[in-house]
């Protein structure tokens, strides 16, 4: 492909950061290769992509679309109307923008955009972050030319001939956290002679993980450990007064690369992007997946890692009795830490974003 060529890319993914950030990463890689190209994002009105995408420097249009409620709800009566509205607006956007390729990373808005693009014979690629695909990508899989995945076994859900295992896009500042240990200790004012536990529950927070950590604080202090605790902004007020000389409570962590670098072990949810980042970081991990997400995909993500001896899976239903025991057994077993670290590093896909964009290039080549 001619690197001076101008292309038009329509990109859709949203509802959660797990869909939005991969979409932005793919757009940035395309922009670096083809700086004269044009980009149009399409998201769902009133969802976080309408804020995050413009912050990243891209234009976005919003569709009137939302998911089907899993319980009986009057909101579901509006879904057919919303779907028709979104398909109609997608047709108008595509007719006006005339994209050379359409890229979807999940979320209901991408269902409408990619469906219309496929009908117009525009080359289409979707990227599935999880080990168990969402409704949108499953629905689109018959219509698109290429499906970029992060896990083994995705031929159980998608046509095998379309699958390319690329991994998930991750932050490039995580490629070498091992060389940032000293900087991390200074940044967080930690004692290099003490072991550090990093707890991650996501930007909003994880209620159960926070409760478990709070209950374990006396033992953590007794053992002389240090704690970097990202409690999430929903729980900031509740746990702010737990901060001491060895316990740091943060609503969120701006320097995740340094937080990872400081950690000896990590306790985390098992969202797709978190799992991909942790593979790259290569530290011993205890996953406590949220059981409250669609299709229980966090548990499936965690199982795909723990099943390879690359992490410890602790289910919420077992955590009340097993949490402290699991942490201290891991901290006291150097060999286990080493084994987990080595195994999880083998699963890392540091070139995921570039590999995905390579697939986009191949698609455009087929029509050039």
Q: Coil, strand, or helix at residue 313?
A: strand
Task: Check: CB of residue 353 under 8 Å from CB of residue 280.
Answer: no
Task: Check: CB of residue 350 under 8 Å from CB of residue 175.
Answer: yes
List phi, psi (to 5°) of 265.
-135, 160
State whether the Cα torsion 183-189-192-195 is positive or negative: negative
**Residues recorded for the chain:** 368
Task: Check: CB of residue 309 under 8 Å from CB of residue 346.
Answer: no
- Interacting residues of 231 by C-beta distance below 8 A, sequence separation 6+: 199, 201, 205, 210, 238, 239, 249, 250, 251
Q: What is the pLDDT of residue 174?
A: 84
How many other C-beta atoms lie within 10 A of the C-beta of residue 203? Answer: 14
Q: Which CB contacts under 8 angstroms, 24+ apart, belong to 117-126?
A: 117/10, 117/90, 118/143, 118/144, 119/143, 120/94, 122/94, 123/360, 123/363, 123/364, 123/366, 123/367, 124/363, 125/101, 125/356, 125/359, 125/360, 125/363
Pairwise CA distance, residues 98 & 94, whole Å: 5
Q: What is the pLDDT of residue 18?
A: 82
CB burial class (10 A; 0-12, 13-18, 19+) of residue 136? buried
Using the CB atoms, write b or e for 162-180: b if 16+ within 10 Å.
Answer: bbbebbbbbeeebeebeeb
The one-digit pLDDT tens for each residue of the chain (368 residues) are 556 688 999 999 988 878 899 999 999 999 999 999 999 999 988 888 999 999 999 999 988 776 654 555 556 566 667 678 888 999 999 999 999 999 999 988 899 999 999 999 999 999 999 999 988 999 999 999 999 999 999 999 999 999 999 999 988 788 788 899 999 999 999 999 999 999 998 766 789 999 999 999 999 999 999 999 999 888 989 999 999 989 999 998 989 999 999 999 999 999 999 999 999 999 999 999 999 887 788 999 999 999 999 999 999 999 999 999 999 999 999 999 999 999 999 999 999 999 999 999 999 987 65
What confidence tens digit (pLDDT) does each residue in 147-197 have? 999 999 999 999 999 999 999 998 878 878 889 999 999 999 999 999 999
Pairwise CA distance, residues 315 & 15, whole Å: 25
Q: What is the pLDDT of residue 295?
A: 79
Domains (range + CATH), the chain: 8-170+350-365 (3.40.50.2000), 172-345 (3.40.50.2000)
Q: What is the pLDDT of residue 204?
A: 65
Using the CB atoms, write b or e for 231-240: b if 16+ within 10 Å.
Answer: bbebbeebbe
Question: What is the model's pTM?
Answer: 0.87
Proportion of the chain in helix, strand, coil states, percent, rounded to 5: 50, 15, 35
């Amino acid at each position: 492909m001619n690197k001076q060529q101008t292309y038009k890319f329509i990109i859709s993914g949203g509802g959660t950061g797990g869909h939005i950030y991969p979409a932005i990463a793919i757009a940035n890689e395309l922009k670096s290769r083809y700086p004269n190209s044009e980009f149009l994002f399409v998201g769902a009105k009133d969802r976080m992509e309408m804020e995050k995408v413009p912050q990243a420097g891209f234009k976005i249009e919003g569709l009137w679309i939302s998911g089907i409620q899993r319980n009986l709800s009057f909101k579901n009566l509006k879904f057919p109307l919303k779907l028709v509205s979104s398909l109609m607006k997608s047709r108008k956007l595509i007719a006006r923008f005339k994209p050379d390729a359409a890229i979807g990373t999940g979320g209901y808005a991408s269902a409408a955009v990619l469906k219309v693009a496929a009908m117009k014979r525009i080359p289409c690629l979707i990227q599935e972050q999880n080990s168990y695909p969402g409704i949108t990508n499953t629905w689109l899989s018959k219509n698109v030319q290429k499906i970029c995945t992060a896990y083994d076994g995705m031929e159980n859900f998608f046509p095998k001939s379309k699958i390319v295992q690329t991994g998930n896009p991750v932050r490039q500042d995580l490629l070498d956290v091992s060389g940032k240990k000293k900087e991390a200790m200074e940044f967080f004012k930690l004692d290099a002679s003490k072991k550090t536990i990093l707890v991650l529950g996501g930007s909003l927070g994880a209620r159960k993980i926070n409760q478990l950590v709070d209950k374990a604080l006396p033992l953590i202090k007794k053992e002389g450990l240090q704690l970097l605790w990202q409690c999430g902004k929903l729980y900031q007020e509740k746990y702010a007064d737990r901060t001491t000389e060895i316990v740091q409570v943060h609503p969120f962590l701006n320097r995740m690369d340094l937080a990872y670098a400081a950690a000896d072990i990590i306790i985390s949810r098992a969202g797709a992007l978190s799992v991909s980042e942790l593979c790259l970081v290569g530290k011993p991990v205890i996953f406590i997946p949220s059981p409250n997400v669609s299709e229980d995909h966090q548990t499936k993500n965690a199982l795909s890692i723990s099943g390879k001896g690359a992490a410890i899976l602790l289910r919420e239903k077992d955590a009340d009795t097993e949490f402290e025991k699991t942490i201290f057994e891991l901290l006291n077993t150097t060999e286990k830490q080493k084994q987990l670290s080595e195994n999880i590093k083998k699963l890392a896909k540091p070139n995921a974003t570039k590999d995905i964009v390579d697939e986009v290039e191949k698609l455009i080549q087929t029509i050039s």
